[in-house]
């Protein structure tokens, strides 16, 4: 095993954040796209979570939490100081990502799959999620990105989830009262030659990996 192996699923926001950080850090790896409904034995042997992302390092260590993968990758190589000088952005990023991964992700799931949660209307779940959107909008009224005028790991950790929230009802999101958040999101999705240009490169489609196959070398 010469390269790290990343088990991933293209549309999963957790896997997305991991791929973004690994791409940014220039980490060469073998990517194995999996079927979440039928995870391979190789993945199950590495992680009890049976989900993605999972990063298997050449030294045998396994990282099966996406936010930990982000931090590991950026610590290997951080040319644009996503962690900030002396990792000054880490604590605040941790707090934002904790809110994102728990309360906002729950609101996102209820909103996206509202038919599974008939206790409330879809609009109710959207309004719950808007509390976090407003917090992000307030931050973006102060700086171009969430913690500073340049990208930090907080942006990478949260962007895929806001993208998913927006896609539930794109027409609503585009006219919602979050102009700075809309601009911030577009900066990643519609980037062309700026510092966020690598998003499209981590969204390439690959065949599902099968036991015994070679993964995609990136």
Residue spans per domain, the chain = 5-79+199-217, 85-194
Residue 197 has pLDDT above 70, yes or no: no
Task: Give residue 49's pLDDT.
Answer: 83
- Burial category of 60 from C-beta neighbours within 10 Å (exposed 0-12, middle 13-18, buried 19 and up): exposed
Angle (CA) 47-49-53 rounded to 5° is 75
Task: Give residue 196's pLDDT.
Answer: 54
Task: Give residue 201's pLDDT.
Answer: 77
Task: Give residue 193's pLDDT.
Answer: 44
Omega within 30 of 0 (cis) for the link into 147: no
Residue 198 has pLDDT above 70, yes or no: no
CA distance 19 to 174: 26
CATH architecture assigned to 5-79+199-217: 3-Layer(aba) Sandwich (3.40)
Q: What is the mean pLDDT of the chain?
A: 93
Overall pTM surpassing 0.85 (yes/no): yes
Domain 85-194 has CATH 3.30.360.10: no
């Amino acid at each position: 095993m010469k390269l790290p192996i990343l088990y991933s699923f293209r549309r999963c926001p957790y896997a997305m954040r991991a791929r973004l950080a690994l791409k940014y850090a220039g980490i060469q790896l073998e990517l194995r796209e999996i079927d979440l409904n039928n995870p391979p034995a190789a993945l199950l042997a590495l992680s009890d979570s049976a989900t993605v992302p999972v990063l298997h390092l050449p030294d045998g260590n396994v990282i099966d939490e996406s936010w930990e993968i982000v931090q590991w990758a950026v610590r290997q190589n951080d040319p644009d100081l996503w962690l900030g000088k002396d990792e000054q952005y880490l604590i605040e990023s941790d707090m934002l990502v904790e809110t994102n991964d728990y309360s906002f992700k729950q609101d996102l799931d209820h909103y996206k799959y509202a038919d599974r949660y008939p206790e409330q209307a879809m609009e109710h779940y959207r309004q719950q999620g808007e509390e976090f959107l407003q917090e992000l909008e307030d931050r973006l009224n102060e700086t171009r990105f969430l913690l500073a005028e340049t990208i930090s790991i907080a942006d990478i950790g949260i962007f895929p989830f806001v993208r998913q929230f927006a896609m539930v009802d794109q027409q609503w999101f585009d006219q919602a009262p979050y102009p700075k958040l809309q601009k911030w999101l577009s900066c990643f999705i519609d980037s062309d030659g700026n510092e966020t240009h690598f998003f499209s490169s981590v969204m390439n489609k690959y065949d599902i990996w099968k036991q015994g196959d070679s993964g995609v070398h990136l």
